[in-house]
Amino acid sequence: MEKWIYELIVERVPPFSYFNRENAVLLQLFIMLLAGVLISSLANLPAISAVMGALTILVVVLWSRLTLVIAPMIRTFRPSLSEMEREIVERYRKLLFSRYRPEFIIGAGFFIPLILHLFRDMTLFQHYLRSNIYVIFFALVLIWDVAYRAGIGFWVCIMNFVRSYRLLKASRMREAMDYTFLNDLKMMKRIDRNSLSFGVAGFLLIPVIYPDPILTSAVMLYSLFLIALSGLSIFIISRVPWLPPDMIGLMREAKFAYIGHIGGKFPHLTPVVQVFDGYNLFFVTARKSVKYRLLKRNPRVTVLIDERDERDFFRNRAIMIHGYARVYDSWAVMFNIPKLLRVFRLFRSKYGGYLKKYGERKERLPDAWRLTPIVKRVPVEIIPENVIYWRGARRIRIRL
């Protein structure tokens, strides 16, 4: 698979090739800062020029680091068990690392208009560089570094969004046991978050170019575009199911799940009502329950959901999830309000009749059973680490 030009430089050009990727970025920062300080001193530039030059170099290095983090992630995706989704991910990788160098072309597309604008309106050059030809040459090299990495960030952001949208669309046409691996979907979200960080880092350039309102507006639009599109891509990829449709149907329809815990003297096993949001399973437990105390002490659990057909044992189905429980008590609730509101709506939709009866009989219920959200009962999310599915006599290990 092709690599971005910057990756090839880090891997093949001394002295960067003598270091691992993280240290190569630090070396780049050191060399560029040293060159900037020397040039500023020799050209007798004002202190503001050195400070703003260092800030620009910092942005270049941050974008370099993000580039070297994102690229290996993209290469780690495994072939999906859905043919359509597998083709989408493979095309996504090929376009990102195309031999036609789209990130270079986009970078050049940023660089050329930028240079034409700077030479037409010499405000920034006169403000920082005093029209010194040697300093301007160094500045042009730095500007190319900025433009090229901005091209990478822009191209990755666009491809991420297209990938997420197409995967969500394809996931709605899956066959019974088609799915994309959970860890790959999580990796896509991490790539999107790094892409969003590209946009955030871009705001650091605004103090440098503030004397030029046109460039300031352009950089703000670039950063906001990356942040908005990356955020939208994260939202979309979060809606792509990681389980096959056959299992999702069972998870959504089953009224009960069984939560197993190592317990104290004996293993602890309890039935709970549960909902599935398409990504993870949730249940609620009372703060006064044994289950709550056990989960706070050790979050590792096993969950079993099953469907039984008394007339034909070969139509039985069951899902067993090994993982850990994330308990949403007071502080965790504050940072996850949108997710928990969605979970609450799922409980209302699935168990509306039961919740109504619980409300009517509230005073006759044991204290631990009273449905006072957060105060007496807290939501718990199951984060899977291992999943096994039984359909009839067939045992299927679901790879994550």
Domain segments of the chain as ranges: 5-237, 245-398
The reported pTM is 0.86
Q: Other CB atoms closer than 10 Å to residue 13's CB: what's the count?
A: 10
State how far the Cα of 32 lies from the Cα of 47, in Å rounded to an integer.
Answer: 17
What pLDDT was estimated at residue 90?
93
Distance CA 374, CA 386 (A): 29
Q: Tell which wins on pLDDT, 267 or 138.
A: 267
Confidence label for 109 from pLDDT (cuts 50, 70 and 90): very high
Pick the CATH number of 245-398 from 1.10.3210.10, 1.20.1740.10, 3.40.190.10, 2.30.110.10: 2.30.110.10
pLDDT tens, position by position, 334-387: 777 888 888 888 888 887 767 666 655 556 555 555 555 545 678 899 999 898
- Alpha carbon distance 68, 87 (integer Å): 25
Contacts 24+ apart (CB under 8 A), 175-178: 175/82, 175/245, 176/244, 176/245, 176/246, 177/81, 177/244, 177/246, 177/396, 178/80, 178/81, 178/82, 178/83, 178/85, 178/244, 178/245
